[in-house]
Amino acid sequence: MQNFLSVKDAVDVQALVKEALLYKKTPYADKHLGRNRTMGLLFFNSSLRTRLSTQRAAQNLGLELMVMNVGQDSWGLEFEDGAIMDGNKAEHIKEAAPVIGQYCDIVGIRSFPGLTDREEDYSEKVISQFVKNTGRPIVSLESATRHPLQSLADLITIEELKTKPRPKVVLTWAPHVKALPQAVPNSFAEWMNAADVDFVITHPEGYELAPEFAGNAKVTHNQEEAFKDADFIYAKNWSSYTQYGQILNQDPSWMVTMEKMKLTNNAKFMHCLPVRRNIVVEDAVLDSPNSVVVQQAGNRVWSAQVVMKQILLSII
Ligand SMILES: CCC[C@H](NC(=O)CCC(=O)O)C(=O)O
Ligand SMILES: NC(=O)OP(=O)(O)O
């Protein structure tokens, strides 16, 4: 595995899930693998789960770690080719990336989209410049359009909790107070489309995901219809892709409630976190035994660990 940017970097998704579940039973089985190797984690944006789970996974593999908040701990970075750097950015990615590659054997990058220029965001300008200039394997810690470590953890959770060979999995849009990226739903959709599940996406009009991500999913604007007989409900807010970065709808009737969960087949409730209680989902659902958001977050360790193992095997 050269980089981990999307589901396309997972040669065998089911094998990756099985390896991750094995790590869950034997977390220190490969404690030697990362000896004398260093992983750098660069955050352009906030994080709790990704920051901590990736560090834990690295420790389980014997990797040394460096963590940096780009722009706060380090210099502001310029990504424009040919830029005349007379503003507030002191360093160009063409220097920063190869220098980071001098210190780290693997580099993780979190960089959210700007949500103003769709072409720029969907060209994955930031992470692709790190791939081009670092000279080391790059692991996405959530990029402008995807969050693969989250999606792998989501699939691990569904695999360990499903009660039938092909569960019905519903990705539902929910309201939010801010314009959020499409990265988590995009990524969840492409991993579900690569898995053996009955996948349904439900959202109000105007929130269609890019076709490359929605793939063959069934899409409906009728949330109650989507919830019927569902085995997993995955809630997430995202801003419009078609009217890029816009909040078109904050209709509270799309919030996930116990009443809606009663339409399902005793479904488990999933969310990547952080979640806005009583905006995205009501307290009663999150506080119910059907919420698996903490177990799901715990699986981020095994998701990161199995990916880092594959990357280490490609560089040793
Ligand atoms: C893992 C999710 C990260 C991010 N979430 C947020 O930015 C939520 C911020 C908020 O609720 O204020 C997102 O939606 O992509
Ligand atoms: N789900 C997730 O990636 O959480 P953080 O943004 O806290 O890392």
pLDDT digits (tens, 9 = 90+) for 38-56: 999 999 999 999 999 999 9
- The average confidence (pLDDT) of the chain is 97
What number is the average pLDDT over the span 257-272?
98
Supply the pLDDT for residue 227: 98
Q: Whose CA is nearest to atom 4 of ligand 2?
A: 49
Please, which pLDDT band fits residue 137 given cuts at 50, 70 and 90? very high
Please, which pLDDT band fits residue 71 given cuts at 50, 70 and 90? confident
Q: Whose CA is nearest to atom 7 of ligand 2?
A: 48
- Which stretch of DSSP H or E encloses residue 189? helix 183-193
Residue 267 near residue 204, CB atoms below 8 Å: no
Supply the pLDDT for residue 75: 95
Q: Whose CA is nearest to atom 12 of ligand 1?
A: 178
* 53 C-beta closer than 6 A to ligand 2: no
Q: Which of helix, strand or coil describes residue 42? A: strand
What number is the average pLDDT over the span 1-20?
97
Query: What residues have CB less than 8 Å from 72, skipping those under 6 apart?
Result: none
The dihedral of CA 160, 163, 165, 171: what is its sign? negative
Query: What residues have CB less than 8 Å from 246, skipping those under 6 apart?
Result: 179, 239, 240
Report whether pLDDT(228) > 90: yes
- Position in ligand 1 atom list of the atom nearest CA 276: 11
Per-residue pLDDT tens over the stretch 229-255: 999 999 999 999 999 999 998 899 999
